[in-house]
Amino acid sequence: MSTETLEIYRKALNFNVIARYDPKIKQLLFHTPHATVYKWGDDNWNKLEYQGVLAIYLRDVGDKEAILPEVSSYDDTITGQQSEANTPHVLTGHDIYNYGLIIMNRINPDNFSLAIAPNSVLNKRKLFAPNREEELEPMKVEVRDDLVMIKTLKKEVYGIWVHTPEDRQNIYELIKYLLENEPTDSFT
């Protein structure tokens, strides 16, 4: 089997696995075989129990006014929430998330995922924090040392460690591009 054929097979397999967790996946934009997740808290990085294939993908949000399943609190609207026991996390709230990042976990059955909303979408929709007076801050991304650091809409900071420096730089540049540019329906 050629290297090109093997790569096509890997992409198709990753796409199909991600579709089980996010049926709105439209196109796989990037994947790398090994990543580890850290979360910033108490002035240091805490390693989380997520390691595995990292993928960034385009989502089919279609109807811009689409509402994801109802939730009981604001905390459930930006990141995933756990539904029934042993089922995947699902996105909720207004479906403004044009892109997704997932780490398909090799350590345990729970995967790590982040919804990515371009800053232009936040600016146009004037999304507000729970008190309805302050607008949500846009997501941010930067590279420092060996981590791609991502600040979410909920102001949580995650560090993604990727084995190869080239992939780390590619992830940073792709997320930065996705955040700073208008959403698109496809990449060629």
Give the pLDDT confidence of 24-35 residue by residue, as tens digits.
999 999 999 999
Q: What is the reported pLDDT for 82? A: 39
pTM of the predicted protein model: 0.79
Q: What is the reported pLDDT for 170? A: 97
> Quick one: which of 30, 130, 145, 139 has its CA closest to 76?
130
- DSSP sequence for 2-56: -HHHHHHHHHHHHHHHHHHH-TTEEEEEEEEEEEEEEEEETTEEEEEEEEEEEEE
| 14 within domain boundaries | yes
**Over 50: is that where the pLDDT of 3 sits?**
yes
| 24 within domain boundaries | yes
Higher pLDDT, 83 or 136: 136
114 touches 100 (CB < 8 A):
yes
Helix (H, G, I), strand (E, B) or coil at 146: coil
Q: What is the reported pLDDT for 57? A: 97
Calculate the average pLDDT of the chain: 82
Number of domains in the chain: 1
Task: Read off the pLDDT of residues 94-139 as tens digits, 9 standing for 90 and up.
Answer: 677 899 999 999 999 999 999 999 988 876 655 555 555 566 778 9
| 188 within domain boundaries | no
Read off the CATH number of the domain in which 157 is found.
2.30.29.30
For residue 47, what are the domain limits? Answer: 3-180
| 51 within domain boundaries | yes
**Over 50: is that where the pLDDT of 46 sits?**
yes
| 187 within domain boundaries | no
